[in-house]
Amino acid sequence: MNIPFVLLACLLGILVNISFAGTSVQPDWALALLTAAVLAHRGNWIWVSIATAIHDLVFYWSPLISLPWILAAPIIIAWSDEQIGSNLIQRLFVMVMVLASLLWSGWSLASCLITILLCISFWYAMVRFYAQPA
């Protein structure tokens, strides 16, 4: 996966969020991308965590909003994969857990739902980079 491209897209998403907040309901573009990246391959957690910290600092002036959930995501995925086998259910649970943090940080329910839908789309696209040919 092209990490600089994803990071650039995150930056653009952050700029769009700040520039047009208040004009229309919009998703958290950057968090949708970053969550999708960690769901597609949990080994992405290092650069995803750094980008999430920057995302949190820009939006909330604090790194303790979405970052703890993003840090917990690969741990939960790894642990649950070991317990019940690799499955989609635990990844969906992790996605909802990470993106539900938006509700606590003052985003509207509509924004949160759009972000979940966007994340599923990005996740679907990113998974193809890691899919191994049979």
Q: Residue numbers of the site for other proteins (CB under 8 A)?
A: 11, 14-19, 21-23, 26, 28, 53-54, 57-64, 67, 71, 105-108, 111
Q: How far is the CB of 88 from other proteins (least distance, A)?
A: 27
User: Quick check: 31 and 115 in contact, CB under 8 A?
Assistant: yes
Give which of 122, 75, 120, 63 is closest to 95, Cα–Cα. Answer: 120
Closest CB to other proteins among 23 and 132? 23
Rounded to a whole number of angstroms, the minimum distance from the CB of residue 89 to other proteins is: 26
CB 77 within 8 Å of CB 42: yes
Minimum CB separation from other proteins for residue 43, in Å?
A: 15
The DSSP symbol for 20 reads T
DSSP element (H, E) containing 114: helix 109-130
- As measured in angstroms, the least distance from the Cβ of 85 to other proteins is 23
Distance, CA of 9 to CA of 3 (rounded, Å): 10
Instruction: Give the nearer residue to other proteins in terms of CB position, either 13 or 126.
Output: 13
Closer CB to other proteins, residue 43 or residue 106?
A: 106
Which residue lies nearer to other proteins by CB, 104 or 130? Answer: 104
52 SS3 class: helix
